[in-house]
Structure 1
Amino acid sequence: MTPPPPLGRPRNKDGPAFDPALDDTALAAARDALARGRWADARQLLARTGDDWDRRGHRLVALGRPPTAAAWAREWQLAEPDSPDAAALLAFATVFRALGGKDAPDAARALCLAAGRMAPRDPTPWLGALVLARRTGTDDERVRAFDQVRARHRDHHHAHHLMAACLAEHQDGDRDDPLHEVYDFAAWAAEQAPADSPLAVLPVVAHAERYRVLARAGLEPGDPARSGHWRTRRARQVMKSAFDWWLEWDVDEDAADAPDTAGSSHPRRKVDLNFLAHAKLHEGRTAEAAALLTRIGPHATPAPWSYPGQDPGAAFRAARRAALGAG
């Protein structure tokens, strides 16, 4: 899914700076009010969020980032010492202070654990512990925090992305390893996720995270957009991951032939089978593509992408002729 546009567009030499609130206007308003000491707005926002765990995690991350968040979260907790929301906000604010060198990591970790005890079903305090452990903890601490998040919400979007980043940062040797553990983790997570989960794209994220690490180590060009290397080998790796997990993911014969539901985002719709057919064309699996095109019928359209050196139109026409001949 394409990220939403930033609320503000400050620019610097490194490119645009995105607002952590993204397009959540209610969150941006509560964060700005919190900066002025009005913690009641954050209180109302978190109460409305309820147990939408992915949204709650995003909102607490954004609310906890500003430098003044800890002071106002502490004031809120003094007023409402039994509030799990106040405890969670103070934990996140202290995590970010610890990452900035202004508080001890042990203090931030203790606050995350305390917030977790106040709301045992909530994965969000453990998300705070994972944010902290990524920079200050051991591998065991990172895995434990991730496991605790997943035990409470197994498809937690942010936690899976954080864990992919943590694993991608393990660098042995002076080159990329196609069997790197981050790729196995991303494939496993995508397999485990339900059929409409955004975690299907995690294998693509794994490639992007590995590229970030390799570029930082000087093992890949710093600007992939200007690199022919990116547009060939690395681009094919990323696109193949997208084909394998976004398009081919969890398609079975019975569900694929079921009547389409208007407005459905399910990957078994005919349009997604059409994408899958074209992915197979680009991989040279013409017979499989022809079989899919036969099932899809007149819905099939020319491919919206291509690999370097391949003519998607010619491949499509050849498979279409084979499909019609087989029929």
Structure 2
Amino acid sequence: MRRQLNSPAMPGQHGIQIDQIERLLHGAGTDWDRRAHRFAVLAEAAAHSALSRSWRTRRPRGADPQVFEAWVELCRGRWAGRMEDAPATAECCRRAAAAVPDDPTPWVVLLGILRLTRAESREVFAVWHEVTARDPWNREAHLHMLRYLSPEECGSRSSQLDFVHAVRASVPATAPAVGVELTALVDEHTRIAARGGVEALLVRRQWENNRAATALETALAGWPRPGHLRHAAALADLNLLAFAMVQAGRVRECADAFGLIGDTVTAWPWTLDGDPLDRFGYWRSRALT
């Protein structure tokens, strides 16, 4: 489906694609994690086309078309660094949330919009609470908050660490948000490397401190076991673990993670080191030989 959305549309193809998207979302039911993952993947693939507008025109009162169009606009805003009409897109989310009050997905997209527009923390946390009241371990929402609280966005290193500590203390071992701490560590690795100088040369030492080493050991003990991670973005988190182990100089220890990943390579975080497919292939061969 993603490949079809990335291809140039043929006359009349939007109708077929809309039917397929509706079936995929309906198939997720109230599995909010899988539903949000499908929205995210499909919206990114459709962001270069007019598909979201076609769906909204076809079903102007439907909640899913409004959420999809808002998510597409959010993807475009991320690429451009700004949104064309953030208030209107946010209003789409609020209308969808009113129509489907149990669904956290409209609130997840709204959280992403507020993050991108650097909204005030009071407004952001209000939406965060709406998401977690419906889906306590929503992966997308946790990643939005992690980055919003970073020193690069609207927070600080201490506020981000406080958030990570709170999540680590309560997140179940197989929850969709289980990768929050490892994501924070990779972000920190990237932050240090970007500074240059002596710090960048010694960046691998970051992975030797107690916090990072413990996070890696915890993830390594469970994540690579077949069937342990069952959330929709499990392979993305396994890519994250493999990348972190590479950066820590522990390539041989992540052979099981590479084995489970197979050929499902995620752009992030491998793109931090160059071409994702090239970097992944290189390190997988090192881990498995």
Say which SS state the counterpart of residue 168 (structure 1) adopts. Answer: coil
2:147–2:153 CA contact under 8 A, matched in 1: no
| 1:230 matched residue in structure 2 | 203
Q: How does 1:48-87 map to 2 (within 5 A)?
A: 48-65=27-44, 66-69=46-49, 71-87=50-66
Q: 1:206 aligns with which of 176, 184, 190?
A: 184
1:39–1:76 CA contact under 8 A, matched in 2: yes
1:162 matched to 2:158: no
1:242 matched to 2:224: no
1:189 matched to 2:163: no
Alpha-carbon offset, residue 46 of structure 1: 1.2
1:153 matched to 2:135: yes
Distance 1:34 1:113 in 2: 32
Between stretches 185-194 and 28-37, larger displacement belongs to 28-37
Between stretches 103-112 and 194-203, larger displacement belongs to 194-203
What letter is aligned with 1:231? Answer: R
Give the direction of change, closer, same or farther, for the CA distance of 1:150–1:304 in structure 2 (3 Å limit): same
Q: How does 1:1-327 map to 2 (within 5 A)?
A: 26=1, 28-29=2-3, 31-32=5-6, 36=10, 37=14, 38-65=17-44, 66-69=46-49, 71-99=50-78, 100=80, 101=82, 103-136=84-117, 137-169=119-151, 180-216=158-194, 218=195, 227=201, 229-236=202-209, 237-243=211-217, 246=219, 265=228
Q: Where is the helix percentage greater, Structure 1 or Structure 2? A: 2
What 5-or-longer segments of structure 2 have no aligned partner? 230-251, 255-289
1:50–1:56 CA contact under 8 A, matched in 2: yes
Count of aligned residue pairs for this structure pair? 219
Say which SS state the counterpart of residue 199 (structure 1) adopts. Answer: coil
2:102–2:134 CA contact under 8 A, matched in 1: yes
Distance 2:115 2:192 in 1: 18
What letter is aligned with 1:188? Answer: A
What letter is aligned with 2:20? Answer: D
Alpha-carbon offset, residue 68 of structure 1: 4.3
Please give the per-residue CA displacement for 1:276-301, whole angstroms capped at 9, x wherever unaligned: xxxxxxxxxxxxxxxxxxxxxxxxxx
Please give the per-residue CA displacement for 1:210-251, whole angstroms capped at 9, x wherever unaligned: 3334445x27779x6xx3x122244434223334x54899xx
Please give the per-residue CA displacement for 1:63-109, whole angstroms capped at 9, x wherever unaligned: 2233444x322322332234222121122123334443462111111
1:161–1:202 CA contact under 8 A, matched in 2: yes
Alpha-carbon offset, residue 182 of structure 1: 1.6
When normalised by structure 1's length, the TM-score is 0.56
Please give the per-residue CA displacement for 1:132-174, whole angstroms capped at 9, x wherever unaligned: 12220232333222222111100111211221122123589xx
Between stretches 98-107 and 44-53, larger displacement belongs to 98-107
What letter is aligned with 1:39? Answer: I
What letter is aligned with 1:80? Answer: R
Considering only aligned residues, what root-mean-square deviation do their CA atoms show, in Å?
A: 3.5
| 1:315 matched residue in structure 2 | none
Distance 1:34 1:124 in 2: 28
Say which SS state the counterpart of residue 149 (structure 2) adopts. Answer: helix
What letter is aligned with 2:160? Answer: V
Alpha-carbon offset, residue 123 of structure 1: 0.9
Flag the structure with larger Rg. Answer: 1
Give the direction of change, closer, same or farther, for the CA distance of 1:221–1:169 in structure 2 (3 Å limit): farther
